Structure 1
């Protein structure tokens, strides 16, 4: 179950509890739900989700060497990555550069 599906699932459960007119402990017992898990999701859903920020990345072909890719971020950070990197390594470097922007 993905993150959004879990949030929707637990939102529905919390709403069922509110409409049941039962106390939380009794509701959890009758529904065979962990009391601690119920409170975890109650707290989690009462907090705003962190904002996802999208940063534009300009990918340009290198003029010097065909063995690298140049990424230029919105704050002018420039990363030259070898084309031999795995997708996981590229993701790591893109995330590191995005963290430097924040």
Structure 2
């Protein structure tokens, strides 16, 4: 099973549990699923859903050195980065601020 197939498999299992009305321990016991494995995938899928996507930023090379790019992050932070930064540097900053 590929990683994508595992991912989809566990999305289906977690969805089935939520729709079943059973508690997680009851569902796991009834379907012969390891309780710890269920929680591992629940946490893993939740983290995947919460990940932020970094989009490529294209900057004009002719812009003055003192100009900035303002980024508003979902957590409420406002970041002002100099346009002189490379794309790799911007991505590093954004990852650090998540």
- What TM-score, normalized to structure 2? 0.50
Larger Rg, first or second structure (1 or 2): 1
- What TM-score, normalized to structure 1? 0.48
